[in-house]
Every structure is written in C-alpha cells, then in structure tokens.
Structure 1
Amino acid sequence: MIRAADFQRLALALPGTTAAPHFDRTAFKAARIFASLAPDGLTANLRFTPEDQALKCAVMPEGFTAISNAWGRQGWTCATLAALDEADAAAALEIAWRHAQPPEKKKKRKPAAPGA
C-alpha cells in the first residue's frame, strides 16, 4: 500500500516535475500534467496512452481503472493507491511522466532512479 505522501515524493523525484493546485486536486507537471492526486489521498489519475491503460488495467485491475469519460478514452487512468506498492506507483508515474514530455525530449531524457 502506498500513501499519498509517497505518491507525491515519487512524482516530484522525476526530472522537471512541479506540483500545483488543479481544481480540487494536486497536479504533477513536467512539460504537461501527467498525474493528479485526489484531495482525500486515496486515488490518483495518470496520463497513459490507451495501450498502456489497457495493459495496466488488465494486469492489475484492483489498482488501475480507466476513467469513464472522454479523458479516459484518451488514456487517463485512475490508480487506487491502497492497491499499489511503491514499485507499482513508481513505474506508473514514469510511464505517465514520459507521455507528458514534448516529442523531442521523449527520446533524450531519462528519469533519475526513484530515491536517487
């Protein structure tokens, strides 16, 4: 089980990431928003491709579900933090972080290892 504070720490460890309010949530942004944390700290939304979303939801349905609207059809996925361990959350955040990079930076930048 990962807590909201752990999720925030992992997100902010990714290069160029900042946190800011986004409606009622805390958004994590590199070039674009790639994740947001619910105010109750129980769930987070992640920016995946539809393909990444399908894989995560199939492999770990207790941890990941597609958001049931147009954003979800674009790949935005809800993560239930209680169902994730730190490795699951770090991997999901890295995938989302990569999708938030401008096309020219996706090939060049690599995130630091979590905890580095």
Structure 2
Amino acid sequence: MVSFENFRKLALSFPNTAEEPHFEKTSFRVNKKIFATFDEKNNHAVLKLTEIDQSVFCASSEKIFYPIPNKWGKQGWTIVELERVRPEMFEDALKLSYENVSQKKR
C-alpha cells in the first residue's frame, strides 16, 4: 500500500517537479507536463508510461495496474491502485513515468 503522502514525497523528490491542481485531481509535473496524478476520491494514481512499460506492469499485476479505459489509456496513461501496490513497485513505475515525460523533446 502507498499513502498519498508517500506518493507526494516521492514525486516531489524528482528534479524540477511541481505539484498543481488538475481539475478535481492533484498533478505532478516536470517541464509543465504531467507525469502523475492523484485521484483522492478513488485513491489511485495515474502514471504516463510508455506502451511497453504499461504492458509489462499490467501483465504482472492486472488488478493493480491497468490502462485508463479510453484513448488516453492507449497512449500509456495507466491507473495504479494505491491500496494494492507494493511501495517498491510503485516507486519503479513512478520513476519510469517521470523519466518518460522529462526526457521528451520540448
């Protein structure tokens, strides 16, 4: 299980990360681009993974990681159930999300 406070602390530990509201969610951004959001109502995170990383995480833990069920999910946006995910697995996925977004050409 990962608490929001642990999620926030980890996300803000990455260089140049900012926390900002995003509609009814909390977002974490690098270079003004979202790499993660927190949905308090559903207690889950959404991460921007590559399609390959998304398929690996979803295949290994389909009740913990699954694509958003729309066009965003086909672009790598992945829901993570914070009540179920192991902290080290979440940390790996969040780091990949951060790297994926921070390394994109601006």
Normalised to the residue count of structure 2, the TM-score between the two structures is: 0.91
Q: Secondary structure at the match of 2:41?
A: coil
Map of 1:78 onto structure 2: 79
Q: CA RMSD in A?
A: 1.6
Map of 1:9 onto structure 2: 9
Deviations 1:2-39 (A, max 9, x none): 11111111111111111000000000001211000002
State the 1:41 CA deviation.
6.2
Map of 2:21 onto structure 1: 21
Gapped regions of structure 2 (runs ≥ 5): none
Q: Contact (CA 8 Å) 1:57, 1:64: kept in 2 or not?
A: yes
Q: Secondary structure at the match of 1:70?
A: coil
Deviations 1:73-102 (A, max 9, x none): 000000000111221111111000011114
Higher strand proportion: 2
Map of 2:101 onto structure 1: 100
- C-alpha separation between the residues in 1 aligned to 2:13 and 2:47? 16
Task: Please tell me the residue identity of whatever aligns with 1:7.
Answer: F
Gapped regions of structure 1 (runs ≥ 5): 106-116
